[in-house]
Structures are given as C-alpha cells and as structure tokens.
Copies of this chain bind each other. A is one copy, B any other.
Amino acid sequence: MTPPTLDFWFEFASSYSYLAVMRIEPLAREAGVTIRWRPFLLGPVFLSLGWNDSPFNIYPPKGRYMWRDLARLATRYGLPFQVPSKFPRSGLLAARVALLGAEAPWIGDFARAMMHANFADDRDITDPAVIRALLAGLGLPADALLAEATGEANKLALRRQTEKATELGLFGAPSFVTPDGELFWGNDRLEDALAWVRQPGG
C-alpha cells in the first residue's frame, strides 16, 4: 500500500509558513504520511481578495498580534526566530527553485534553509546570491538550478501552481489539502490535517 499523502501549500514570504516548514517533516514521518511540497505565491491570491500587501501590514493590530504569536510559538517549538527587518520579502525566486525541486530529495532541506534565512537570520531571500549560497551549502549545482528555475517553463509552472491554489479555495498559507479534498489553513492545523489523512472524518 502506498502511504497516504498530504499536499503542503506554503510561501517563503509567509511567517506562519516558516513554522510549518520547520515542523512538517518529523510530524509527517511519525504519522506515516508523505508530504507533497506545493510552493506558491500569496501575492496573486491576496490581490484576488483585494489586498496589495500582506494583511498583517494592511491591518496593523493583526500584524502586531502575529509577530507576538509567532515569537511565542517559536519558543514553544524550540525554533529560532527574529522579526525580519523587512516583511514580507518576496518569495518569488525561492518558490521557483522550490518548485523545480518539489519532488527532489532536497526540497525539505532547501525550504528549511530559506525559511531560516528569512525568519531566523534576517537575510534577504530575494537576493539570488543568498539562494545560490544556500543551494551550494546543500551540495547542489546552484548555478544550473537558478538558471532552470528562472527559465520560461518553470516560471509558467509556478504561475499555474498559484492559479491552482486559488482554484482550490486557498486564501492564505500555510494550507494543507488532503486526498479527499479537505482544506486546513494555518500552522496550527498541521496536526489536524495529518490526522485527517490517516483517518478521514477525524
């Protein structure tokens, strides 16, 4: 029997995606669930809702709360965290690379390295040099991957993937979609989504 799967929709710019990216692999392993990494861009999704920026910036009380909530959760999970000096940082290039490697064995390591750079080390993940260095640090052919990631075919694939997110009803990240079509939104629904995959209906 093939193991059950869970589609994991995430965005490198998204603060709560940071928590989910760092947590998902051990939890999925424990649950016996295979994760299908689905990088996408929140920008177009937010635009379709009428937001031209992160709602955490558009609605300051939500933003202030989010950073405090994130700090508390990072402490609980034992994750390093600092409020990035710029938020959100576009996850476009990182998502293009991640889409290219979505089925590759290095996707988890790459996603964690990028998230750590943004939300723990306050590094500029929009800088190709930062991404190149992280890829190289994983022993990957950084230049070849960046070239392919920014090729027309892959750009188009990420655009399609983001359209697919909207079609699935996603409106934020992280989001989890089960094989039977249940949508779970938010880092705090990760455990629920894994449990649903193992036993639909809970």
Q: How many interface residues does chain A have, given as a range?
A: 20 to 34
User: Which residues from 163 to 202 on chain A have a C-beta closer than 8 Å to any C-beta of chain B?
Assistant: 169-171, 182-185, 188-189, 192, 201-202
Q: Which residues of B contact A69 (CB under 8 A)?
A: 184-185, 189
Enumerate chain B residues within 8 angstroms of A75, measured Cβ to Cβ: 201-202
The answer to whether A65 and B171 touch across the interface, beta carbons within 8 angstroms, is: yes
Residue among A59, A61, A62, A64 facing the most chain B CB atoms (10 A cut-off): A61
Of residues 61 through 115 on chain A, the ones whose CB sits less than 8 Å from some CB of chain B are 61-62, 64-65, 68-69, 72, 75-76
In chain A between 106 and 140, which residues have their CB closer than 8 angstroms to a CB of chain B?
Answer: none
Interface presence of A49 (CB below 8 A): yes
Report how many copies the assembly holds: 2
Q: A65-B185, A183-B68 are in contact. Are A171 and B59 (CB under 8 A)?
A: yes
Q: In the docked arrangement, what's the CA distance between A69 and B170, Å?
A: 13
Q: How far is the CA of A171 from the CA of B72 in the complex (A)?
A: 19
Using Cβ atoms and an 8 Å threshold, which residues of chain B touch A171?
59, 61-62, 65
* Distance of A169 Cα from B62 Cα, bound (Å): 8
Contact residues in B for A64 (Cβ distance below 8 Å): 169
- Bound-complex Cα distance A192 to B187 (A): 15
Known contacts A61-B170, A76-B202; 13 further A-B pairs (Cβ under 8 A): A49-B61, A59-B171, A65-B169, A65-B171, A65-B183, A68-B183, A69-B185, A69-B189, A72-B182, A72-B192, A72-B202, A75-B202, A188-B188
Q: Which residues of A contact B (CB under 8 A)?
A: 49, 59, 61-62, 64-65, 68-69, 72, 75-76, 169-171, 182-185, 188-189, 192, 201-202
